[in-house]
Structure 1
Amino acid sequence: MTGPDLMYTVDINDGRLRGGPLPGGGALFAGIPFAAPPVGPLRLRPPQPPQPWSDVRDATEFRPAPPQRLPALLAGTGSGAGSGEGDSATTSMVEAVAGGAGAHDEDCLYLNVWTPELSGRRPVLVWIYGGGFDSGSAGLPSTDGAALSRLTGAVVVAANYRVGALGFLHLAELGGPGWAGSSNLGLQDQAMALRWVRDNIAAFGGDPGNITVAGESAGAFSIGSLLAAPAAGGTFHRAILSSGSTGRVFAADTGTAIAADLLAKLGLDTVDELADVPVERILDVQTSVIDTDIGRRNLPGGRSWGVVLDGTVLPRDPQAAVADGAAAGIGLLVGANRDEMRMFQAMQGAAYVPTDEPALLAEMEQAGVTEPARLLAGYRQRSPEADLATLRTLFLTDAVYRRPASALAAAQTAAGGSAHTYLFAAEPLGPDLGAFHGADLVLVFDALERTGNATPELIKVRDDLAGAWARFAATGDPGWAPYDPDARQNTRQFGGAGEMVTEPPADEAAAAWATASEAVKP
């Protein structure tokens, strides 16, 4: 081999890989199998080890994404009709958050490594993509690992995991003993990828003793469950959760009911028959058995694809496990966006608006709020001009993202662990959308220029946020004090007015939330 070939050739446990150069330096190794193809008899089964190879394997091309369609939260929404957003803003928003995965294939369990240098011993960031647990990809355009590596200086790894019904269909009860392990398959894929990273990353210039797992939305909620998943034990040392927490885990009976409804939609009598159903047929019906409204799917009683408290892959409720010290040895950096739900308000338009004020109060009661009228009054104090849709956005942002983030950090701190929190308040697509769900990805994936918003102010926020992630991955200290739930200005803010803020905010809405009953799982 010539010198340039040798520069991008590495030996891992399963064989030799040949990667390619990255613009500006470093190397990409793409399409590396970390598990056997989950096809044929391995469909809807736990991931199995890949087959080793003897020749040099080309690792210069991304593999297809897992099977998926338009995310359930975007299905039927049009392009933001009724939201007041222009077509270009909505398109940019969807691209920034959902990305789009391009080609997909059931043979999808591959990962990608972006490394600044092969001879180093750098911190490792393992990225778990979001996408509502029914979409996403470890490669472009959803995941720009090269940008994340460039901004943080870390070796970045991203792995595909199965999504939708193929990744989160809960069959343990419905299928009988032979299907006992077929639950949380996407989470099992993530855990296997993390074990691969631990065992192989040194060959790419990464430090196996300094691995941080990071993710956004469904990726962050996945990490919340990985904190309590035995299969992921000992595979990472720190965790960055952006717009996610331990707060989105479905009861086993909910998972079983969704599975039963899927079988009925497919006209099947037994779980075994799923092996022969064309994948496109499964994709055709999988959205019809879950909730597509962002509130219904995330509040108690909701139904969606996602992690199930099955008792085996996930033996304990993750929040309770953290409170008992299960993750005390893992440093946490927990972030939320100030205006998480504004994106869904814009995309879902009229369908998002509560029918009337009593309907919004009932939704608050569903979330465990014992004094919904007081909470609604508190949100009106925060935003005196808000209409019902905006009031719902304030409520759901707190219920699904901001308050669970603070609760996770508080539980970790009380258990003797380390937790830092931040609030993302920058507005990369302007004030109408604000700091929407996924807005931070525009910065950490260095897409400001692509979206036409590379202002000096936003570039500074990008560098500040990426710098905090880099410091946390390297040392466990992002640059501000650990979270103290009883302190004012306990949370770093990126963008917005003021560098430090109080989370939850010290206002009447937070006081009303403080009287809420303990959250019931969906």
Structure 2
Amino acid sequence: MTHDNTLVETVAGAIRGVDDGRVTAWKGIRYAAPPIGDLRWRAPQPVKPWPHVYDATRYGYACPQPVDPRLPIDLGAPQGEDCLTLNVWASSDTSAGDRKPVMVWLHGGAYILGSAGQPLYDGRALTASGDVIVVTVNYRLGALGFLDLSEFDSPSRHYDSNLGLRDVLAALHWVRDNIAAFGGDPDRVTLFGESAGAGLITTLLTSPAAEGLFAAAIAQSSPATSVYDVSRAHRIARKVVDRLGLSVAEVDRLPEVPVGAIVAASTDVFYETPLSAPGTLAFAPNVDGDLVPDYPVKLAREGRSHPVPLIIGTNKHEAALFKWLKSPLMPITPEAIRAMFNQIAAEQPHLQLPTDDQMGAAYANLRGRARGMGVARDLGFRMPSVWLAEGHSTVAAVYLYRFDFATPMLRLLRIAAAHATELPFVWGNLKSSAKDPTFKLGGVKTGRAVSERMRTRWLNFATQGEPIGPPGEPDWRPYREPDHESLLIGRQDAVISDIDSDIRATWGTQVLNFR
């Protein structure tokens, strides 16, 4: 590959992308066979080679998913089941022999939404410097990606578990086998993602099948403890089957059911689940004893995670987005939090849950819904990240952060540093959508500086193994006893010792997993 040649030979055949003079992009590249018909709810299968030059100038289909008017997402492409594609960006001067570090992105969306083609994840800003190759991955979502139908196995039909996770593994195998042709180094792959994408990453950190497929990881706002046991996954599967009007004897017909009906039925189950079981998701990785041998945070705390350096962190006001969207996904009201605690106590009676006095001390400065948002933030995101950081730090360097920056508009909306608000700064795409309110009241200049610092640290982590900031910025050291240092990302960056001391004392070292 040369700077004026977008033709690349992959294992399956030649592809042609497009070069804008700064960055070359190849979009919609198949990394697995279309998961349709008999391959629906089956592990991804190898792609069939193509005889002609593959047109890699447009994003592939986004995985079928519900359209939420409260959260309009530009998926970058139409929806379709033939969605197992990925996208590659490299600076225009990249050559096949360069062996640049690679950053592989997994998008978020509560395991039911999102796409690798979202304008927010355009890789031009990250790759323009020429330091890295960027890959973004589509994986199956919702019932197509995380419905466990294994209890319905029959002589005529087999169903695989954790399909979305298996898709990511297939994409990582594709990167290992093909990225050198784009100028990337398959031995220096950093897997990074946010929300559900980060949850896949923290799950893969303890999956034997992922060993050797990535050399570093970045998990932004990972719901690391939202991994469930098979019995819960089977209950969800039966609800979806029932909602589709199928009897147990008719489950073999599932591969023939129109995808729109599957999305509609699973969406109903998705929104009903946190109402009956606050704090839980209908669709997420489950402990199948194979790909996911046990709860990832538990394994990490036993020193059984892959020894790769890790950046992990959360946003200061994670739950504010869910309150703003009136979403049931996070328990915020006192009633929902009480129900969640009762459920945890019933499922895990050996755990010592925080007392009212401990909760009062930890959240003394918060009242009403604000207290509920603090509890939801810490149980859903912050403490799982801290628990995992504490465990993983025994096998590799861990860098813990908290994203505190908020623009004037986000503060006015009372969202502030909410869930997903760090994404434009990581990607350098501060204005990827005309509907995005982030900078409606200004703050672009400061936002660009925040983005420059974050991208520098993320890129240096991928290229040098340490999240070194621009000259003059504080030294972000690994998270370890007794300092428990975290990087606070705001208008200015700061390294602070044990910003989580109150909540660590409250929630303790006992990992709260939903069963």
Q: What TM-score, normalized to structure 1?
A: 0.86
Give the C-alpha shift of residue 100 in structure 1: 4.1
Q: Does 1:275 align with 2:259?
A: no
Q: Which residue of 2 aligns with 1:494?
A: 489
Q: CA deviation at 1:405?
A: 0.8
Structure showing greater relative contact order (alpha-carbon pairs closer than 8 Å, 6 or more residues apart): 1
Pairing 1:519–2:515 present: no
For residues 7 and 521 of structure 1, do their structure 2 counterparts lie closer, same or farther at Cα, with a shift above 3 Å needed? Answer: same
Matched with 1:7 is 5
Counterpart contact for 2:358–2:506, Cα < 8 Å: yes
Distance 1:505 1:434, change over 3 A: same
Asked whether 1:66 is paired with 2:66, we answer no
Does structure 1 conserve the Cα–Cα contact (< 8 Å) formed by 2:61 and 2:79?
A: yes
SS in 1 for 2:152: coil
Preserved contact between residue 420 and residue 483 of structure 1 (Cα < 8 Å): yes
By how many angstroms is 1:382 displaced?
Answer: 3.2
Partner of 1:7, secondary structure, is coil
Task: Choose which of 444, 448, 455 in structure 2 pairs with 1:459.
Answer: 448
Per-residue CA deviation, residues 346-395 of structure 1 (Å, 9 max, x unaligned), is 1107998866x465445445456623422441354233xx3x21111111
Partner of 1:446: 428
1:284 and 1:350 map into 2 onto residues whose CA distance is 18
Amino acid at match of 2:506: A
Matches of 2:155 and 2:385, distance apart in 1 = 36
Whether the aligned pair in 2 keeps the contact of 1:230 and 1:313 (CA below 8 Å) is yes
Paired residues of 1:152 and 1:466 also in contact (CA < 8 A): no
Q: Does residue 141 of structure 1 match 2:119?
A: yes
Separation in structure 2 between the aligned mates of residue 31 and residue 351 of structure 1, nearest angstrom? 31
Find out whether 1:394 has 2:374 as its counterpart: yes
Could you say which residue in structure 1 is the equivalent of 2:388?
A: 408
1:290 is paired with a residue whose SS is: helix
2:291 aligned residue: 313
Q: Identify the residue that residue 288 of structure 1 maps to in structure 2.
A: 268
The answer as to 2:459 corresponding to 1:470 is yes
CA displacement 1:90-134 (0-9 Å, x = unmatched): xxxx46xx5545510011111110111431321100000111101
Alignment of 1:118 with 2:116, yes or no, is no
Q: Which residue of 2 aligns with 1:251?
A: 229
Q: Secondary structure at the match of 2:50?
A: coil
Residue in 2 aligned with 1:377? 360
| In 2: Cα distance, 1:231 partner to 1:359 partner | 37
Partner SS for 2:128: helix
Kindly indicate whether the alpha-carbon contact (under 8 Å) linking 1:118 and 1:203 is maintained by their aligned counterparts in 2: no
2:388 maps to 1:437: no
* Residues in 2 aligned to 1:354 and 1:245: alpha-carbon distance in whole angstroms: 16
CA distance in 1, matches of 2:217, 2:330: 32
Question: What is the letter of the counterpart of residue 20 of structure 1?
Answer: V
In structure 2, the CA distance between the partners of 1:359 and 1:207, relative to structure 1 (3 Å rule), is closer
Deviation string, structure 1 residues 301-328 (Cα, Å, up to 9, x no partner): x341110111122223222332344434
Deviations 1:421-470 (A, max 9, x none): 11111114432211100011121232324553453222111111111100
Matched residue of 2:219: which SS?
strand
RMSD: 2.7
Deviating more after overlay: 99-108 vs 419-428: 99-108
Letter in 2 for 1:471: N
Determine helix, strand or coil for the equivalent of 2:119.
Answer: coil
Q: Give the structure 2 partner of residue 194 of structure 1.
A: 172
Distance 2:35 2:328 in 1: 40
Code of the residue aligned with 2:85 in structure 1: it is Y
The aligned counterpart of 1:421 is 400
Q: Secondary structure at the match of 2:231?
A: helix
CA distance in structure 2 between the partners assigned to 1:391 and 1:420 by the alignment: 27
- For the pair 1:104 / 2:104, whether they are aligned, the reply is no
Distance 1:358 1:55, change over 3 A: closer
Map of 1:128-277 to 2, 5 A cutoff?
Answer: 128-141=106-119, 143-150=121-128, 153-176=131-154, 182-244=160-222, 246-269=224-247, 270-277=250-257
Give the Cα separation in 1 of the matches to 2:43 and 2:328.
41
> Residue 333 and residue 349 in structure 1: after superposition, are their counterparts in 2 closer, same or farther (change >3 A)?
closer
Indicate how the Cα distance of structure 1 residues 376 and 319 shifts in structure 2: closer, same or farther if over 3 A, else same: closer
Q: CA deviation at 1:178?
A: 6.3
Q: Which amino acid in the other structure matches residue 110 of structure 1? A: T
Q: Deviations over 1:256-304 (max 9, x none)?
A: 01111111111112331101100001111102223457697673xx341
Using the TM superposition, give the Cα deviation of residue 234 of structure 1 relative to its aligned residue in structure 2, in angstroms.
Answer: 1.3
Task: Pick closer, same or farther for the CA change 1:229–1:351 going to 2, 3 Å.
Answer: closer
Instruction: Give 1:148 shift.
Output: 3.2
Larger deviation, residues 362-371 vs 152-161: 362-371
Verify the 8 A CA contact 1:188 1:231 in the aligned structure 2. Answer: no
- Quote the Cα distance in structure 1 between the aligned partners of 2:26 and 2:505: 50
Quote how far apart the aligned CAs of 1:517 are: 4.7
Give the equivalent residue in structure 1 for 2:472. none
Residue 151 (structure 1) shift: 6.7
Q: For the Cα contact (< 8 Å) 1:409–1:421, is it kept in 2? A: yes
SS at match of 1:225: helix
Q: For residues 365 and 275 of structure 2, what CA distance do their matches in structure 1 show? A: 21
Give the distance between the partners of 2:501 and 2:357, measured in 1 at CA: 15
Aligned partners of 1:350, 1:48: CA distance in 2, in Å?
Answer: 36
Instruction: Give CA-to-partner distance per residue, 1:212-267, whole Å, 9 cap, x none.
Output: 00000000000111122233221110000000053221110011011111111111
Q: Distance in 1 between matches of 2:335 and 2:236?
A: 29
- Report the secondary structure of 1:248's partner residue: coil
- The alignment covers a number of residue pairs equal to 487
Separation in 2 of the partners of 1:352 and 1:249? Answer: 15
The farther-off stretch of 158-167 and 493-502 is: 493-502
Gaps of 5+ in 1: 80-93
- Which structure 2 segments of 5+ residues have no match? 346-351, 469-475
- Residue in structure 1 matched with residue 105 of structure 2 by the alignment: 127
What does 1:318-397 correspond to in 2, within 5 Å?
A: 318-348=296-326, 357=334, 360-364=337-341, 366=343, 370-383=353-366, 386=367, 388-397=368-377
Partner Cα distance (1:193, 1:58) in 2: 19
Q: CA deviation at 1:188?
A: 0.4
Q: Offset at 1:152?
A: 7.9
d(CA) in 1 for partners of 2:322 and 2:362?
18
Whole-Å separation in 2 of the counterparts to 1:396 and 1:521: 14
Identity of aligned residues (%): 33
Measure how far apart 1:332 and its partner are: 0.7
- One-letter code of the match for 1:482? P
Any conservation in 2 of the 1:258–1:303 contact (CA below 8 Å)? no
**Structure 1 pair 26–183 and aligned structure 2 pair: CA distance change class (3 A):** same
String of CA shifts for 1:162-184, please: whole Å, max 9, x gaps. 00101111011233476665111
- Paired amino acid for 1:395: V
Give the counterpart of 1:36 among 33, 36, 42.
33
1:500-515 equivalences under 5 Å are: 500-503=495-498, 505-507=500-502, 509-514=503-508
Contact 1:244 1:405 in 2 (8 A): yes
